[in-house]
A and B are shown apart, each in its own frame.
Chain A
């Protein structure tokens, strides 16, 4: 299983702040996960935008990055500043 958390406007886009997903063999890395979720939520490319960064287990990764069962994945949109 994967835990996926959506921050900022992405939670509004997906309609949820977080979810648990079963890890599929076809979703081996972050690029595949982006494609899967962008299609699932009809995000029209928002989740494919490289300005949306991905953190795995609290580390922002350089993509594509392999994902594994148990990973906590966060989708981080452009920050708004403090």
Chain B
């Protein structure tokens, strides 16, 4: 399941719904990403996330398919905000389910590395000093490179 929406994400509710619909799992891993209240130097006022109406979802579909080829997942879910998001709000929710924990952990980690570096989102950080478009950090690319 993939959901890209400006609506707020209730991670606890998403997790509970994911857990209810899974049968036969031995492990569920869920990751929630939040908007930080500060970057290295400044207070963050908000993040603005933009997606492409077709390519973003297609890329996420391919990443989920890739995850399913690598690990025996029973189910998976990605929820991602777009639009203006305030500090401490949830920006992304990823959940994976598998019979064994290693597959669930690894797939969630893989999906987050994809989301951080390859997913077609553009991100503008608005701080007390102004706004700027931000790109992945070198360590984000290193993290994604682990899966090649």
Contacts and interface: CB of A to CB of B under 8 A. Distances in A.
A57 to B, nearest CB: 9
Contact of A79 (B80, B92, B118): B118
B119 to A, nearest CB: 5
Given A7-B122, A8-B122, A9-B122, A80 B52 contact: no
Interface residues of B, number: 25
A8 B119 contact: no
A80 B134 contact: yes
A81 interface: yes
B33 A8 contact: no
B50 A55 contact: no
Given A8-B122, A8-B133, A9-B133, A81 B52 contact: no
Contacts of B121: 79-82
Contacts of A60: 55
Given A8-B133, A9-B133, A81 B55 contact: no
A4 interface: no
A80 B133 contact: yes
Contacts of A77: 122, 133
A59 B54 CA distance: 9
Contacts of B33: 82
Interface string A6-30: 0111001000000000000000000
B111 to A, nearest CB: 10
B3 interface: no
Given A7-B122, A8-B122, A9-B122, A80 B135 contact: yes
Interface of A: 7-9, 12, 55, 58, 60, 74, 76-82
Interface of B: 33, 49-50, 52, 54-55, 58, 80, 91-92, 115-124, 133-136, 140
27 contacts: A8-B133, A9-B124, A12-B133, A55-B52, A55-B55, A58-B54, A58-B55, A60-B55, A74-B52, A74-B55, A76-B55, A77-B122, A77-B133, A80-B121, A80-B123, A80-B134, A80-B136, A81-B116, A81-B117, A81-B123, A81-B135, A81-B136, A82-B33, A82-B91, A82-B115, A82-B116, A82-B121
